[in-house]
Amino acid sequence: MIKDITLGQYFPGDSLIHRADPRVKIILTLVIMTNIFLIDSYLAFAAFAGFIVMAVFIGKIPFGYTLKGLKPIMPIIVFTALINIFTTPGILFAGYGPVRITYEGIDIAAKTSLRFVLLIMSSSIMTLTTTPISLTDGLERLLSPLKHLKVPVHEFSMMMTVALRFIPTLLEETDKIMKAQASRGADFDTGSMFERAKSFIPVLIPLFVSAFRRADDLALAMEARCYRGGEGRTRMKQMKLSKVDYKIALSFLLFEIVLIYVQYFKFHI
């Protein structure tokens, strides 16, 4: 399951989405995330799913690889859905003694699960098609007006990107430690929930040690390259909007028009 987490990983490619300006991708991803929590129609959810599938196809990312990122959060999705199904009051759908399942509970559970899935997939598309360096530069440029308020924009952007970049590294390190512990007789799959949680303690200690060691190595590497923060820093690639960005923005605008039409004016089921 650890290997199934795709957040923070970059999938190399030369598609339209890969070549797009990181600022455009960050802004559109934030708008998409906002829209996911605003829509309430199943047709709107279907339109959103179609848009995400089209983006995966244009980005030339294996669809199975994108779906793989959903596997680690499936227990959370299922748990949230069950809570909504069994605790939401409304019109009775089925009853088994004290357990009551309502139509409203099923509706909320389905829409909540769809929001989780679309949210993870849309954010994964941005990280899979954007290098960590481009993500840092784009985030820094978007937050640059805050420099006038003495906000350390560059340091904040670098911190966020380094944290995102090291998610796959730490997951890989966790997998190696677990395999090493399992070869020594550790059992992570059997027993009660408390026992399984307790069995992870031998994994956490070497993982923290490895994380601090990697952080120290990274600091030494940055210092050896005369890194002094964002002041006076130059970039090999200057960001500027291109025809690709305008095409993507126009396509997203058309999608927004369709989404608003489906959600608020034409259909609502």
Of residues 269 and 17, the one with the higher pLDDT is 17
Of residues 147 and 59, the one with the higher pLDDT is 59
Residue with tokens 């997998």: 175
pLDDT in tens, 93-145: 776 767 778 888 888 999 999 999 998 888 888 888 888 778 878 888 888 88
Closest residue by Cα to residue 102 from 123, 85, 82 = 85
Position 254 pLDDT exceeds 70: yes
CB 39 within 8 A of CB 263: yes
**DSSP state letters, 67-101:** HHTTGGGHHHHHHHHHHHHHH--SSEEEEETTEEE
**Structure tokens, 247:** 């095409």
pLDDT at 115: 92
Amino acid at 98: P
pLDDT in tens, 237-250: 677 888 888 988 89
Q: What pairs with residue 96 in β-bridges?
A: 99
pLDDT at 214: 84
Closest residue by Cα to residue 240 from 8, 11, 60, 22 = 22
Determine the average pLDDT of the residues in 30-46.
89
**DSSP state letters, 188-224:** SSSS-HHHHHHHTHHHHHHHHHHHHHHHHHHHHHHHH
Determine the average pLDDT of the residues in 89-96.
72
| Dihedral sign, Cα of residue 218, residue 222, residue 223, residue 224 | positive
CB 33 within 8 A of CB 122: yes
pLDDT in tens, 134-172: 887 888 888 888 878 877 777 777 777 777 777 777 777
Question: How many CB atoms sit inside 10 A of residue 135's CB?
Answer: 22
pLDDT class of 3 with cuts at 50, 70, 90: low
CA 169 to chain centre: 16
Q: How far is residue 56 from each of residues 13, 17, 44, 59, 61, measured CA to CA in Å?
A: 12, 9, 18, 5, 6
22-26, 47-51, 54-58, 160-164 — which is least confidently predicted? 160-164
Determine the average pLDDT of the residues in 88-92.
77
Determine the average pLDDT of the residues in 12-23.
87
Position 24 pLDDT exceeds 80: yes
Q: Which residues of 164-193 are buried (b: 16+ CB within 10 A; e: fewer)?
A: bbbebebbebbeebbeebeeeeeeeeeeee
